[in-house]
Amino acid sequence: MSSPRVLLGVIGRPHGVRGLVRVQSFTADPAAIARYGPLTDETGARSFRLEIVTPGAMPVVRIEGVTDRDAAARLTGTRLHVERSALPAPGEDEYYLTDLIGCAAVDESGKALGTVAEVQDHGAGAFLEIAREGRPALLVPFTRAAVPVVDLAARLLVISPPVETIVPPSPGSARAEEMEGAAA
């Protein structure tokens, strides 16, 4: 169903001169990222033990063994992973966003829309990026209204995109001409 390792956060820029960093945490409580024990980089080669210094939406963290700004700066952008087995089972009507990747997406009539390629969250809520063959990706807010059915057992999502997400290209634009050519 999903990777044995799950992305929990990303190391951000240094904070001060003593090796502290900000961390973008993808856990429900941003400070919870430190509770999962050692985290690893994408390859699993490096391990990081975190201690929350200042909680918040983007907590300030001390990483064991990192004692100066230069060492902290070298870690900027490092993606922090945890073994899937370290995570609690999701509750009813809860999902790990990573489990949605690879699910087929269909509209309410059952017509195939594409496949969930990525889940994006820039702070205002999660969006599903639906990859569509030969067409631009579709971004859909991950809300009950826009995604009324999530069937992880069948690896299927029913999508009911809000009308405002379907924006036709302006007349005369290159994209409008491309679409007209495709329709012919």
0.85 exceeded by pTM: no
Please report the domains of the chain, with CATH numbers, ordered by start residue. 5-85 (2.40.30.60), 97-164 (2.30.30.240)
CB 8 within 8 A of CB 80: yes
Considering 5-9, 18-22, 34-38, 167-171, the range whose residues carry the highest mean pLDDT is 18-22
Report the SS3 class of residue 132. strand
CB 21 within 8 A of CB 15: yes
Closest alpha carbon to 12 in 71, 57, 75: 75
How far is it, in rounded angstroms, from Cα 14 to Cα 67?
Answer: 11
Note the pLDDT tens digit of each residue in 26-58: 888 999 999 998 999 999 999 999 999 999 999
Note the pLDDT tens digit of each residue in 103-120: 999 999 999 999 999 998
User: What integer best gives the mean pLDDT of the chain?
Assistant: 88
**Would residue 181 be called left, alpha or beta, if left means φ above 0 and alpha means ψ between -120 and 50 degrees?**
alpha
CB 115 within 8 A of CB 102: yes
How far is it, in rounded angstroms, from Cα 152 to Cα 94?
Answer: 11
